[in-house]
């Protein structure tokens, strides 16, 4: 069967199980969009307001579903507008295939209209990228791209398809299904690992995003039960365990829960599962593992020794390795350690009944959601308040930018997460700073009839950076006090959503009740909070647990 390159692309996307793509059309992808039009009964396309929003939507879709996100953009500025979204997916290990058009093969290298070397530009932030120069390579390239995006440590892959390749003809259905070559793994002696686990008295499990990627949540929970071990989470590992689990201590690190970070610092054995030991999670590296044996389990051997030197490195699929260890481990109890951890848990941020503060706002919103509601965030103080205070009970219900820290990520991610969850009610916690970066995607929310509730924690400042300026720069608030006059409620109405502005818990509860409309309606709730709200507790960069800040 002879098909044009654009036809091959759409047929192969469908064969790969893709039912939704996000993107924005342009001259260099007109043939692709023509084929999307012809196949609209088999594959859905969501047009966004901006290519960055489309990439974040594909990212959010992938995180919420566990499937590969797909985004399409034209050449030149369309392609370059994807770069932040691709880098965000790369640093958070999100499976993503980005498809860009380019000028025809005979026009490459001539500074043609909207020509750009997107392969060279994205090289540092993809697992792999392809420039397809011959239509005969296209089918195989697409198969390889999806395989690479989903194998090993997952991540983004880019396919650049010149316009001439999209129109050329060749036989389709003859490419061989590829397989990833077996690579040598880091060897380890299982008996010594088991001995270290059996001999410990103060075990601690540090759980990261690799657990969610490997669908190993049940294994981590069983390991915690079997070892009587408390669990701390990286931000990317949030949702790996239900918050209702008594031994889930919450997030570790610079902006984490005191109990989680304290238990991590006092353990004699740390089982680090699917984590990369980010600098904000570890603080002072010299202090971080001084007291404990470290067993690091990860699919990516490049993470071993990169930030923390571990005593044992177990490379491979997290789920498989945990199942193997569990088959050899019997249940034990560490009552003295459990008692200590219970004391750590008593050190909490005080409640502020009746106050219109972040914790109470987030708790109020939580009462109007379900355990499977997808929650997205942007980046900043509101992000930390959300991961600290929102009660997550199910995996893949948090969409947040961990590695790159991308302000403006949240609304696009909420769009993708909402569509991926079957167009169920989705919540975005954001701030006036982050929301201002990509609020244009409200037009996508409304035009797609997506049930998304946007909650803006609006303190009129760039709160996280301002907080650092207050602590480390003697209160010199350089360019972090915004004092913008934007009326977000009116702006929401202009986009076709319904906007609200609230300043008390009573007003918020009234609005949440009014907007509790199930899976219909798009809402923006602007919550005006005090400029001086802080993220607590906090460990200053490069410091140890001894430097934790629990008050202003």
Q: Tens of pLDDT along 57-75?
A: 999 999 999 999 999 999 9
What pLDDT score was predicted for residue 354?
Answer: 95
- What average pLDDT does the segment 277-304 reach? 88
Residues 130-159: pLDDT tens digits? 999 999 999 999 999 999 999 999 999 999
- What average pLDDT does the segment 324-346 reach? 95
Instruction: List, by residue number, the catalytic residues.
Output: 51, 113-114, 163, 464
Note the helical H segments in 112-157: 118-122, 138-150
Residues 403-430: pLDDT tens digits? 999 999 999 999 999 999 999 999 999 9
Distance CA 251, CA 342 (A): 16
Residues 198-210: pLDDT tens digits? 999 999 999 999 9
Distance CA 300, CA 179 (A): 18
Residue 18 has pLDDT above 80, yes or no: yes
What pLDDT score was predicted for residue 397?
Answer: 98
Environment class of 450 (CB within 10 Å of its CB; exposed 0-12, middle 13-18, buried 19+): buried
- Rounded to two decimals, what is the model's pTM? 0.95
The SS3 of residue 223 is: helix
Neighbour count for residue 517 (Cβ, 10 Å): 12
Residue 407, both tokens: 């302000």
What pLDDT score was predicted for residue 71?
Answer: 98
| CA-based nearest residue to 62, from 136, 146, 120, 143 | 146
What pLDDT score was predicted for residue 547?
Answer: 73
DSSP 152: S
User: Which residues have a Cβ under 8 Å from the Cβ of 422 and sit 6 or more positions away?
Assistant: none
**% of the chain surpassing 70 pLDDT:** 98
What pLDDT score was predicted for residue 223?
Answer: 97
Contact 498, 521 (CB under 8 A): yes
Distance CA 205, CA 217 (A): 12
Sequential DSSP letters for 3-53: EEHHHHHHHHHHHTT--EEEE---GGGHHHHHHHHHTTTTSEEEE-SSHHH
Residues 426-473: pLDDT tens digits? 999 999 999 999 999 999 999 999 999 999 999 999 999 999 999 889
Residue 551 has pLDDT above 60, yes or no: no
Pick the residue with more confidence: 107 or 344? Answer: 344
Distance CA 101, CA 33 (A): 11
What pLDDT score was predicted for residue 172?
Answer: 93
Distance CA 296, CA 271 (A): 6
Residue 21 has pLDDT above 90, yes or no: yes
Contact 450, 426 (CB under 8 A): yes
- Write out 352-411 in H/E/C secondary structure: CCCCCCHHHHHHHHHCCCCCCCEEEECCCHHHHHHHHHCCCCCCCCEECCCCCCCCCCHH
Would you place residue 285 in the very low, low, confident or very high pLDDT band (cuts 50, 70, 90)?
confident
Radius of gyration of the chain (CA): 24
Neighbour count for residue 52 (Cβ, 10 Å): 28
List the beta bridge partners of residue 128: 157
Output phi, psi for 338, to 5 deg: -60, -40
């Amino acid at each position: 069967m002879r098909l044009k390159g654009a036809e091959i692309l759409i047929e192969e996307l469908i064969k790969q199980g893709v039912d939704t793509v996000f993107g924005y059309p342009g001259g260099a992808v007109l043939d692709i969009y023509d084929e999307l039009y012809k196949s609209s009964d088999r594959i859905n396309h969501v047009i966004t307001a901006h290519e960055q929003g489309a990439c974040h939507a594909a990212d959010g879709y992938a995180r919420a579903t566990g499937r590969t996100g797909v985004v399409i953009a034209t050449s030149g500025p369309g392609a370059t507008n994807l770069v932040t979204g691709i880098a965000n997916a790369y640093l958070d290990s999100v499976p993503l295939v980005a498809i860009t058009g380019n000028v025809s093969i005979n026009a490459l290298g001539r500074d043609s209209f909207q020509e750009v070397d997107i392969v060279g530009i994205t090289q540092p932030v993809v697992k792999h990228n392809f420039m397809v120069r011959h239509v005969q390579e296209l089918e195989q390239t697409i198969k390889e791209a999806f395989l690479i995006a989903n194998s090993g440590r997952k991540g983004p892959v880019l396919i650049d398809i010149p316009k001439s390749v999209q129109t050329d003809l060749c036989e389709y259905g003859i490419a061989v299904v590829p397989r990833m070559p077996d690579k040598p793994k880091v060897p380890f002696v299982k008996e010594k690992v088991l001995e270290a686990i059996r001999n410990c008295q103060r075990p601690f499990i540090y759980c990261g995003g690799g657990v969610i990627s490997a669908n190993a949540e049940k294994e981590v929970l069983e390991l915690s039960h079997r070892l009587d071990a408390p669990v701390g989470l990286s931000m990317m590992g949030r949702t790996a365990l239900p918050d209702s689990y008594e031994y889930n201590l919450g997030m570790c690190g610079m902006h984490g829960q005191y109990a989680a970070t304290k238990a991590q610092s006092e353990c004699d054995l740390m089982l680090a599962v699917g984590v990369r030991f980010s600098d904000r999670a570890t603080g002072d590296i010299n202090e971080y593992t001084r007291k404990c044996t470290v067993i690091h389990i990860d699919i990516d051997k490049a993470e071993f020794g990169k930030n923390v030197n571990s005593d044992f490195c177990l490379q491979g699929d997290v789920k498989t390795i945990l199942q193997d260890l569990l088959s050899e481990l019997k249940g034990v109890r560490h009552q003295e350690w459990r008692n200590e951890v219970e004391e750590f848990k008593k050190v909490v941020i005080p409640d502020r009944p009746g106050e219109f503060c972040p914790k109470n706002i987030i708790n109020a919103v939580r009462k109007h959601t379900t355990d499977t509601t997808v929650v997205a965030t942007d980046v900043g103080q509101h992000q930390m308040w959300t991961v600290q205070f929102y009660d997550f009970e199910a995996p893949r219900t948090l969409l947040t930018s961990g590695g790159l820290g991308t302000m403006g990520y949240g609304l696009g991610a909420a769009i993708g997460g909402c569509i991926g969850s079957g167009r169920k009610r989705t919540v975005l916690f954001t701030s006036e700073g982050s929301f201002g970066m990509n609020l244009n995607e409200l037009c996508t929310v409304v035009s797609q009839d997506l049930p998304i509730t946007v909650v803006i924690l609006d303190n009129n400042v760039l709160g996280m950076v301002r907080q650092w300026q207050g602590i480390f720069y003697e209160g010199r608030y350089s360019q972090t006090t915004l004092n913008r006059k934007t009326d977000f409620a009116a702006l929401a109405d202009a986009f076709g959503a319904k906007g609200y502005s609230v300043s008390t818990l009573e007003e918020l509860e009234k609005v949440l009740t009014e907007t509790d409309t199930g899976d219909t309606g798009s809402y923006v709730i602007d919550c005006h909070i005090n400029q001086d709200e802080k993220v607590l507790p906090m460990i200053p960069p490069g410091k140890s647990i001894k430097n934790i800040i629990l008050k202003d």
